[in-house]
């Protein structure tokens, strides 16, 4: 295989080794020829040496300043046959100490990639690295500049770029210019992304199985056309209840649930290890006070009723579950956000930006459509409408990974169990669907492994009380190059967490259990066991 942070690197060390410099036969930076991309025409290729420059941190995507960079920057602009798009693939090639590897970096939210803040860290660690804008505006917060054509209809050319086509473009272009510059093909081709970047990684495994030797997909947005619409459920619940609890009241109920279910694993650490086994009743918190900084709010029966419905998830008119609810222990801050400062006083709902834009620009093709007006019945209709119109282009849920497995690819997926945006149930469902079609757990785990991190929010971004995987990319690299099959991911709480501890994140379905002796805050004192052994 030679063709290859919601979102990206999360500040993890990429552990470069086997460093080398360009060989005698390598092309000078300015002489790199235009690569050949099937189905596309190269509009331009612009290459230049950049020395001793820096990229400033941009949390949470890039957690640190990257200094003293020295690269050959290659900007390839291409247009697809029969399309009017202009796609930029930007690649940075280290001038010294190339580790013979190529990594493509995924995007986040509405961006297929973020350019320099994608490229800086891997390039500093010896990787030839690429990012792409997919021909889009590059704004991760809104697709308003590219979603619709002048006639008001969906721009399917650019949506296809965002969904899948740009992933392959980046693999082909990045690897080709690296091979031209260094005078040798890349040794290992890898993908790294979270959220939208995680979805892109799964697309690569499903549609372009020979592009990457290894794929790291964090919190992947797998069932896009369904989960994005379901993200509006909390807003629908509050509208129908006629009550908009303050963020403090909602957080008070979440914290009460964590206190109730925290110690079920015999370790009191402020997280729920098994949220799907937590049976907390939010009405038991009614009348208690929630403390949020200097704000103190009483938890009401209306707030408890809303939380119960959000946790339960949306249902069809016949009572069948349409989509899972937010995991117990996850924050409501994003999906149930309101403008209110006190319980129910002039409260208004604020739909999550990504779900709101998806419905307005794509499903309804109407930027003026009001998602705050939706009721339960309309949400169900919208759910199926979204799936019907765009499932074939946007969903990265094909469970047939036989070609990826045959090509020798390795897929490592990790997901926070307190993810409030893309629920971990999605990744569990996908793994189970892959196992069903690929011959069961034994046949699947040789190339596809899932890790669930208790108490961890979306992509490990804060505030998140759980232990976040510290180097999942290293685990993937060792698996791909050295055959070291990952049984655990090492994890540690973030510096801003209220409590500090390390943990083992076990391969699903195993869970970490305290062995009964030693420091409960140390990962070495935990073992991976079957779920039935976990309290």
Find the helix or strand (DSSP H, E) in which 438 lies: helix 424-438
Give, in order, the Cα–Cα distances in Å from 487 to each of 54, 143, 212, 466: 37, 39, 21, 19
Q: 195, 274, 376, 497: which is the annotated catalytic residue?
A: 195
Closest CA to 328 of 414, 243, 424, 217: 424
Torsion from C-alpha of 133, 138, 140, 141, nearest 10 degrees: -150
Is 419 assigned a catalytic role? yes
Beta-bridged to residue 271, according to DSSP, are none
Q: Is the peptide bond before 386 cis (omega within 30 degrees of 0)?
A: no
Spacing of C-alpha 343 from chain mean position: 33
Closest CA to 295 of 343, 255, 357: 343
Strand pairing report for 128-132 and 101-105: parallel
Q: 395, exposed or middle or buried, with CB in 10 Å at 0-12, 13-18, 19+?
A: buried
Is-contact 226 386, C-beta < 8 A? yes
DSSP letter (8 states) at residue 162: I
Count CA atoms within 13 Å of residue 157 on its CB side: 14
Spacing of C-alpha 490 from chain mean position: 19
Closest CA to 357 of 149, 159, 147: 147
Is 458 assigned a catalytic role? yes
Is-contact 213 480, C-beta < 8 A? yes
Closest CA to 360 of 172, 228, 184, 203: 228
Contacts of 232 (CB under 8 A, 6+ apart): 335, 351, 352, 355, 356, 359, 371, 374, 379, 382
Q: 419, 426, 457, 534: which is the annotated catalytic residue?
A: 419
Q: 80, 168, 415, 458: which is the annotated catalytic residue?
A: 458
Say how far apart CA 516 and CA 501 lie, in whole Å: 16
Maximum alpha-carbon separation in the chain: 75
Is 124 assigned a catalytic role? no
Catalytic residues: 195, 419, 458
């Amino acid at each position: 295989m030679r063709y290859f942070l919601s979102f990206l690197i999360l500040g993890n060390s990429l552990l470069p080794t086997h460093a080398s410099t360009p060989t005698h036969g390598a092309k000078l930076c300015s002489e790199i020829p235009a690569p050949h991309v099937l189905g596309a025409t190269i509009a331009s290729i612009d290459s230049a040496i950049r020395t001793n420059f820096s990229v400033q941190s941009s949390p949470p995507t890039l957690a640190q300043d990257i200094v003293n960079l020295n690269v050959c920057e290659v900007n390839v602009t291409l247009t697809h046959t029969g399309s009017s798009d202009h796609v930029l693939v930007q690649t940075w090639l280290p001038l010294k100490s190339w580790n013979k590897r190529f990594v493509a970096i995924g995007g986040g939210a509405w961006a297929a990639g973020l350019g320099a803040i994608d490229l800086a860290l891997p390039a500093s660690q010896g990787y030839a690295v690429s990012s792409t804008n997919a021909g889009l505006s590059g704004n991760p917060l809104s697709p308003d500049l590219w979603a619709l054509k002048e006639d008001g209809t969906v721009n399917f050319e650019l949506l296809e770029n965002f969904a899948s086509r740009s992933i392959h473009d980046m693999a082909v272009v990045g690897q080709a210019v690296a091979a031209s510059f260094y005078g040798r093909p890349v040794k290992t081709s890898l993908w790294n992304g979270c959220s939208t970047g995680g979805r892109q990684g799964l697309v690569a495994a499903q549609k372009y199985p020979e592009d990457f030797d290894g794929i790291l997909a964090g919190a992947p947005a797998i069932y896009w056309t369904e989960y994005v619409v379901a993200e509006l459920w909390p807003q629908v619940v509050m509208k129908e209840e006629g009550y908009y609890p303050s963020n403090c009241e909602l957080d008070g109920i979440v914290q009460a649930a964590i206190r109730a279910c925290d110690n079920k694993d015999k370790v009191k650490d402020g997280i729920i290890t098994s949220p799907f086994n937590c049976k907390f009743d939010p009405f038991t918190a009614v009348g208690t006070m929630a403390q949020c900084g200097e704000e103190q709010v009483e938890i009401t029966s209306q707030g408890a009723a809303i939380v119960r419905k959000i946790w339960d998830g949306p249902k069809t008119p016949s009572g069948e579950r349409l989509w899972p609810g937010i995991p117990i222990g996850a924050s409501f801050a994003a999906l149930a956000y309101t403008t209110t400062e006190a319980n129910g006083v002039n409260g208004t709902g604020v739909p999550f930006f990504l779900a709101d834009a998806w419905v307005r620009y794509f499903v309804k093709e109407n930027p003026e459509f009001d998602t705050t007006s939706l009721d339960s019945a309309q949400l169900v209709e919208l759910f199926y409408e979204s799936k019907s119109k765009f499932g074939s282009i946007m969903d990265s849920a094909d469970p047939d990974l036989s070609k990826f497995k045959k090509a020798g690819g390795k897929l490592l997926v990790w997901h926070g169990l307190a993810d409030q945006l893309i629920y971990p149930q999605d990744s569990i469902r996908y793994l189970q669907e892959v196992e069903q079609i690929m011959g069961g757990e034994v046949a699947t785990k040789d190339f596809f492994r899932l890790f669930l991190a208790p108490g961890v929010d979306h992509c490990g971004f804060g505030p998140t009380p759980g232990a976040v995987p510290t180097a999942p990319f290293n685990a993937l690299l060792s698996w791909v190059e050295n055959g070291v099959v990952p049984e655990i991911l090492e994890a540690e709480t973030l510096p801003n967490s209220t409590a500090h501890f390390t943990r083992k994140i076990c391969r699903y379905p195993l869970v970490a259990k305290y062995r009964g002796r030693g420091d409960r805050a140390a990962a070495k004192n935990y073992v991976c066991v079957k779920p039935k052994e976990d309290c």
